[in-house]
Chains A and B, each alone.
Chain A
Amino acid sequence: MSSRFDHFTGTLAPLPIQNVDTDQIIPASYLKVTDRSGLASGLFSRWRYRAGDPDGEEVPDFVLNRREHQEARILLAGDNFGCGSSREHAPWALVGYGFRAVISTSFADIFHSNALKNGLLVVTVTEEVSASLFAAVSADPAAEVTIDLEAQTLRLPDGSETAFEVDPFARRCLLDGTDQLGYLLQQAPAIEAFEAAHPSRLDTRSA
């Protein structure tokens, strides 16, 4: 499901850790849901709460618990964000918590694809831009950036602008609120033709 997205301005929650895996974003104990509810409270729960349990005490210096970052809607993360498990619960948890975008120097492939399908924008920046953002937010937690998806630009707290790349199809879907499944369903005649031309060797019902 996609929701419309064009541009917005917001503050950053800095998480200067590399290789944040999806087990950290949302631990396996939250994967027993059959819908998407309840995931926000599990977001980063192992780092966010003592003993990893939302009923327990908060870890005061974890970024999501710091007062100055309560309103942040953009996560500023270290390199290779979202590696590991393919669980789409990770972007569901981030979106459920209120994040609208993640900025990093790189993203793992499956997370990247899952995020864009859920209206969570992934913005890949250079190491210099990333370093300048971490510096800016540590100097002033209220520092704001503006993400403009239409123009594919990121306005930094110092007012300068930097361009970012985004898959053109995913961008169109986000801007128009188009749904990817709908686009696939429209291809039914081509799929039928393909199936007719490529009979399958397999029938999973045969064993």
Chain B
Amino acid sequence: MSRARTLFEKIWRRHLVAGEEPGLPATLFIDLHLVHEVTSPQAFTQLAERGLTVRRPDLTLATMDHSTPTDPSIDGARLRVLDPEGSAQLDQLEANCERYGIPLYAMGDERRGIVHVIGPELGATQPGMTVVCGDSHTSTHGAVGALAFGIGTSEVGHVLATQCLLQHRPKTYEVRVDGRLQEGVVAKDIILAVIARLGIGGGTGHVFEYTGEAIRALDMEGRMTVCNMSIEGGARAGLIAPDDVTFDYLEGRAMAPSGEAWEAALEDWRSLPTDEGAIYDRTTTVDGSSLEPMVTYGTNPGMAIPIAGAIPEDAAVEPEKRASFRKALDYMALEPGQQLEGKPIDVVFVGSCTNSRYSDLAAAAGVLRGRKVADGLRVLVVPGSDAVKRQAERDGLAQVFVEAGAEWREAGCSMCLAMNGDQLAPGQYAVSTSNRNFEGRQGAGGRTFLASPLTAAASAITGRVTDVREVLS
């Protein structure tokens, strides 16, 4: 009998072209390589310079998301004028994909969207796969039980040329979330609480596997939110074992297997979950039933507190971390011990690969329905993909946002990284459903409070950081 293995170990072993040897990394085969405009140009250049080609265009998929406009009035011609550099980058992706036969969802394509939204949406990311992209939030795809992680541009070149990567085996880290979530507490709050607990470097060198009742109870899109932010805890990948929720989600999607192939895949996928008795290198347990809506106060995603709580006092911060803590609060123009609830804000951003899927928009719309956005507040709602956008328009969600006074935009990364002109002005405060509150991430001088779509919608109504439970009650 073979020994008990974790989900990670099973996927890892299946993909070894060559195992690790003393002094040498393993060669890992990659089942799906996702590509976007920002981290690929130099990799394609490297390929061309060396006279190489793309080994498996059939396992490669490209989209445009990071620098694309979300203002519906900006077409290709206007973009060339407004943003010649960004536009050139998009043109280059188009040329590269054409040259090597890589399927590309360019502007105007109905399948286009944020790379980590469209992968699962199309059924391209499947259980047991290895998935990479030149993008740290590739961890998102772990929600379907795939080993998915971000890589640098040199490695993008490696995968284009060989469909393989040189890797050292990471360690495993079980993050167990027991119990049932309270009303108003959602996937985003789980992951913010986990990162606050473990620290943003807590998962370095590890792959998280999320287990426990609270994780099992999440729908697929909630699981994607959790896995998405694994990298914010320092783990390159986060995994959730596939189960019936996963299979129901995947069945019938454009790139998922069908017919007999579906049955064969199911049988295989059911063998993936971690065996009883398998050992993780580390384990931590979180009581899901005690979690509250979370919000960040600082300049990294680990600086988060329950929404009714207060920013830590200086004395509660370890002495060697105090200077960085103070620097973060200076940037945010906040004080130790201060409460965030009630803090006036300028912008609300609902979007990003963390929280821009249909269920995220539905959650936000549920709070906003029949209500109005606070006077003077700017609210952007940016769907994660064109498909999400169309569905939200069909089902009336878009109308809820528009009637409430929010901006309904085209799909893209938008204000998550503020590359496309959607950005905060210096000094502005935003409640954002994205994943990074780094200095200037959403615009130079901008200040970000990360929170769930529910918290974002509640804050949109009041114009202040707001506990959604008070709006709903």
Question: Shortest CB–CB separation between residue A143 and chain B, in angstroms?
Answer: 21
User: Which residues of B, 202-244, contact A by the 8 Å Cβ criterion?
Assistant: 204-205, 231, 234, 236
Task: Give B contacts to A, CB under 8 Å.
Answer: 14, 17-18, 22-25, 27, 29, 31-32, 38-39, 41-42, 45-46, 50, 52, 55, 57-61, 66-67, 83, 85-86, 88-89, 92, 101-103, 111, 122, 124, 126, 129, 134-136, 150-155, 157-158, 161-164, 166, 168, 170, 200-201, 204-205, 231, 234, 236, 254-255, 257, 261, 265, 300, 302, 320-321, 323-324, 327, 417-419, 426, 436, 438-441, 444-445
With A and B bound together, what is the CA distance between A103 and B17 in angstroms?
Answer: 34
The interface of chain A, by Cβ under 8 A from chain B, is 1, 16-19, 21, 23-24, 27-29, 31-36, 46, 51-52, 78-80, 83-89, 106, 108-110, 113-114, 117-118, 127, 167-169, 172, 180-181, 183-185, 187-188, 190-191, 194-195, 198, 200-207
Interchain CA distance A194-B162 in the complex, whole Å: 12
- B60 touching A19, Cβ below 8 Å: no
- Indicate if the CB atoms of B436 and A84 lie closer than 8 Å: yes
Contacting pair A86 B135 (CB below 8 A): yes
Q: How many contacting A-B pairs (Cβ < 8 A)?
A: 216
Tell me if B321 and A18 are in contact (CB < 8 A).
Answer: yes
**A-B complex: 6 closest residue pairs judged by Cβ atoms:** A114-B152, A80-B201, A34-B41, A88-B152, A32-B85, A86-B150
Listed by A's residue number, 19 A-B pairs whose Cβ atoms lie within 8 Å are: A16-B323, A23-B436, A28-B417, A32-B86, A51-B426, A52-B440, A86-B150, A88-B39, A108-B234, A110-B150, A110-B151, A168-B23, A172-B23, A191-B29, A191-B162, A202-B124, A204-B32, A204-B102, A207-B255
Find chain A residues with CB under 8 A from B161 CB.
Answer: 181, 184-185
B327 → chain A closest CB, angstroms: 7
Q: Tell me, in angstroms, the Cα distance from A119 to B7 when the chains sit together.
A: 34
A51-B444, A87-B39, A180-B166 known; A190 vs B323 contact (CB < 8 Å):
no
Measured in the bound complex, the distance between the Cα atoms of B445 and A31 in whole Å is: 18
Contacts of B31 in A (CB 8 A): 200, 202
Residues in B with CB closer than 8 Å to A206 are 254-255
Check if A183 sits within 8 Å of B58, measured CB to CB: no
Q: Which of B17, B88, B153, B324 contacts A88 (CB 8 A)?
A: B153
Q: Distance (Å) between the CB of A179 and the closest chain B CB?
A: 9
Q: List residues of chain A with CB within 8 A of the CB of B67.
A: 31-32
Min Cβ gap A125→B in Å is 15
B134 proximity list for chain A (CB < 8 A) = 86, 88
* Pair B164/A113 contact, Cβ less than 8 Å: no
Tell me how far the C-beta of A58 lies from the nearest C-beta in chain B, rounded to whole angstroms.
16
With a cutoff of 8 Å between Cβ atoms, the chain B residues found around residue A203 in the complex are 58, 255
Q: Are A27 and B136 interface neighbours, CB within 8 A?
A: no
Query: How far, in Å, is B124 (CB) from chain A's closest CB?
Result: 6
Contact check, A27 vs B440: say whether CB atoms are below 8 A apart.
yes
Contacts of A88 in B (CB 8 A): 39, 42, 134, 152-154
Task: Tell whether, in the assembled complex, residue A109 and residue B58 are in contact, meaning their CB atoms are under 8 Å apart.
Answer: no
Cα distance A34–B88 when bound, in Å? 8
Shortest CB distance B49–A (Å): 10
Q: A31-B66, A109-B205, A184-B166 are in contact. List 8 more A-B contacts (CB 8 A).
A: A31-B419, A46-B440, A51-B426, A80-B234, A114-B154, A169-B25, A201-B261, A206-B254
